[in-house]
Amino acid sequence: MSAKMKKLILATTFLLCACQLLAVSADPAAQQLFAAAKQQASLFHKETGPFQLDVDFVAQVQTPLQGHLTLKWESSDRWWQKATMADFVEIKLRNGEMVYTSHNAGFTPIRLQELINLLHFAEYGDRMVARKQKQRVEDGVEVTCLRAENEAGRSTPHEVCVNSASREILRDEWKNASDDQRMERYAEYFDFQGHRYPRKLELLVNGSKVITANVTNLTSTPLDQALLAAPKGAIERRLCKGMTRAVPIKTPEPMYPKSASENRLMGDTIVSMTVLTDGSVNNIQLLGTSTHSMDDATLQTIKTWKFKPAMCGAEPVVSDVEVVVSFSLQ
C-alpha cells in the first residue's frame, strides 16, 4: 500500500493544487460587486504607493509562538521583509528578478509562509465566481454578503460582506473543504490609500486557530534603497516575468510503512526541497511531521524524484518546492 499524495507546489507565496473541476456560472450583479470588493482589498499592486506594513502574530506550532513581520513595499519586484518567530529570524528581499533570503535555520517555517499567504489574500482568487448575494441587517447597518466559488466548481466557498450603501468591504472568509478543513478570516477593515485592508487575520485548521495576526501599522513610507543590497551569504533565486514553475516528471509514491498501516496510523508529512537546473532535488527539509516511519519513507522516496526545472525563457533556474504527502487508509 502506498501513500496518497497531495502535492502542493510552492513558488514564492503561491500554492497550487490538482483537483477535479466542474464549471459554475456567475450572477452578473454579484460578480460586479465581488470584483469591486476584491479590488478594494488588493494592496500589493502597482497602483499602491510605497508603504510599510507591520504585523504582530501568534502561530501555533507545538506551542503558541509570538512573532512580528515588517514589510517595506515599493512594487512587486522591489521590497524588503523581516520576520521573527520565537528564535527564528529571516530577512527576505526582492530587487528586480533576484530574490535573496537570509535566515538562521535551514528553511522557512510553514506557519510563517502561511502568514505571508494571509497578508496577500486578495491577490489570489482571480478565478472566483460570485453566485449569490444576500441582504441582512447587522448592528443597524444593511449588509450584502456574496458567496463565491472557484469558476471550475472546486469546493472553496468564499464569502465577502460589504456595506450595502457604501459598498465598503467589511469582512471576508475563505473555506477550503480539503482534508484539513482550512478557513481564513479577515475582519476590521480600515482605509489606506483608497484601499480597505483588514486589521485582523486568522487561519484555522480543523476548527483550531493556528495563526492569529493583527496589523499594527500600515503607513505610506518610501523604501530605503540600501535595503535592497543582497545580504552576505543569502540564498539567491531568480524570478523572471513569465517564469514557468518546476514540473514533476518522476515522483514515485512512498510505501505505507507496515507498522503504521497495521496500527491504522494516518498523517501528513510536509517537505520542502530545492529543484536544481538539471531537475534533481537537494536541500530536502522536513517541515511538518506525522510519524517517524512515515516521515522516513517520504524522505527516502523524495530523494529519487525528478522534475522539469523552472524556466526563465530557455534558461533553467533553481526553484523551491513544497509537497504534502498524506498517509490515509481507505
User: Where along the chain do its domains lie?
Assistant: 22-228, 242-327
Supply the mean pLDDT for the chain. 84
**Would you state the torsion angle of the CA atoms of residues 140, 130, 53, 164, taken in this order, to the nearest 10 degrees?**
-20
Fold annotation for 242-327: TolA/TonB C-terminal domain (3.30.2420)
Segments in the chain below pLDDT 70 = 1-26, 46, 124-127, 151-156, 176-180, 330
Using alpha carbons, select from 89, 51, 91, 52 the residue that is nearest to residue 67.
89
> Does pTM surpass 0.75?
yes
> Which residue is it, cell 533565486?
237
Q: Contact at 8 Å (CB) between 88 and 101?
A: no
pLDDT the model gives residue 4: 47
Using alpha carbons, select from 53, 51, 96, 93 the residue that is nearest to residue 74.
51
Q: Contact at 8 Å (CB) between 92 and 99?
A: yes
Selected from 2.40.110.10, 3.90.730.10, 2.40.50.320, 2.50.20.10, the CATH number assigned to the domain covering 22-228 reads 2.50.20.10
pLDDT the model gives residue 13: 28
| Greatest extent of the chain over all pairs of C-alpha atoms, in Å | 62
